[in-house]
Structure 1
């Protein structure tokens, strides 16, 4: 996995190359790792998005 990028005060990881359900499952597992703070979310988008960070926001449950 590539290192995260920072965007508007958040760390951003890109998960690609799988169906949406699989990508969200990966994001949920990462959000549940020890040390991940609350407020974790995923943005579901596609390569055709006109702007970075635009798409459907999905809240993820973190261990906190």
Structure 2
């Protein structure tokens, strides 16, 4: 986990600003070239970066 920053946000101009605590996670994945690829020597692996930001208090905001 990268951290839990608190940010202020307003979903709609008629609603008050609320504080949201986010849980941040990151993942790096390398996709290798398939072994059965005919032109394998001409291709290179691809690096992908993923970032997930989840609102820690989102469940309490949903209607029951």
With the shorter chain as reference, the TM-score category is under 0.3
Name whichever structure is richer in helix by fraction: 1
Name whichever structure is richer in strand by fraction: 2
Q: Normalising to structure 1: TM-score of the pair?
A: 0.23
> Which has the greater radius of gyration?
2
Q: Normalising to structure 2: TM-score of the pair?
A: 0.23
